[in-house]
Structure 1
Amino acid sequence: MKSSILSQLAALKGAPAPVLKARWRELFDTEPPAYNRRFLESRLAYRIQELAYGGLSRETTERLKAMAKQYADQKPAERKARPLLRPVAGTKLIREWEGVEHCVTVRHDDFEYLGRPYKSLSSVARQITGTKWNGWVFFGLKNSVGR
């Protein structure tokens, strides 16, 4: 089954536009949108994998809905701009400390560790180590000497 999925995904790259559109109709049961080829390829690839392996988990769907609701009423100008060095929301930062792997999720305004929100990576690093750390250094996002 896995090789079948891989071959379907590989076939998307070289397929002519009419074939992509026919595949869209087959997988989505709707007319394809008038978007560019790159969009069609990526969305078809996602759909093929979604049907084969399952979609997003219920937890992920709920988290996305909560994030959408949080920002739905804000105008784009009111949303905080992401600092250039800050990883994109959804990024997982993984750090091993004393033989234990710790995973932190970057969110738009904060960080999530063990299901709790933290305002800074330094506070997460302190929670993990029990001592003060520069969070960017602890998670390998910045050299301890400077950048």
Structure 2
Amino acid sequence: MSPETKLKVAKLSDLTIGQLAAKYEKLFGEKCRSRNRRYVHRRIAWKLQADDEGGLSEQAILRATVVAGESLIRLTPPKSRKSKKDESKVPEKWDSRLPSPGNLIERQYKGQTLHVLVLTEGFEYDGEHYKSLTAVARAITGTHCSGFYFFKLGQAK
């Protein structure tokens, strides 16, 4: 890169975003749609370097055009798919600290990984049905313990 181009690129750091946008519009001949200073700065620096050194070769431009023509370009984002988890109905008075019914709660305890299935009416652990998470924690530990505290649910991380 020539010393003149290096000086031009260095001077870009002193410009405001408005001045960078104006320079972008002048160099590229199109409206600057971004207000991200770093992005606009990099695009202008690239253009100055490309103009100084000749830019891409004809062969590279031709190859890029062919590749772009073969690629599938999506103009709109895909429609969101509803998963089975979304389809399960959550009761009206559902505790927000709990995952929706059908999900598993996992916890490491004394070297074992515990899995508790969340049901619409209670919980299932080790093949048995429990009315509350506290009852599950009591069955595991043998002492009274808050189920939410034991499974670390609803706590600030």
Normalised to the residue count of structure 1, the TM-score between the two structures is 0.44
Report the structure number with the largest CA radius of gyration.
2
Structure number having the greater helix percentage: 1
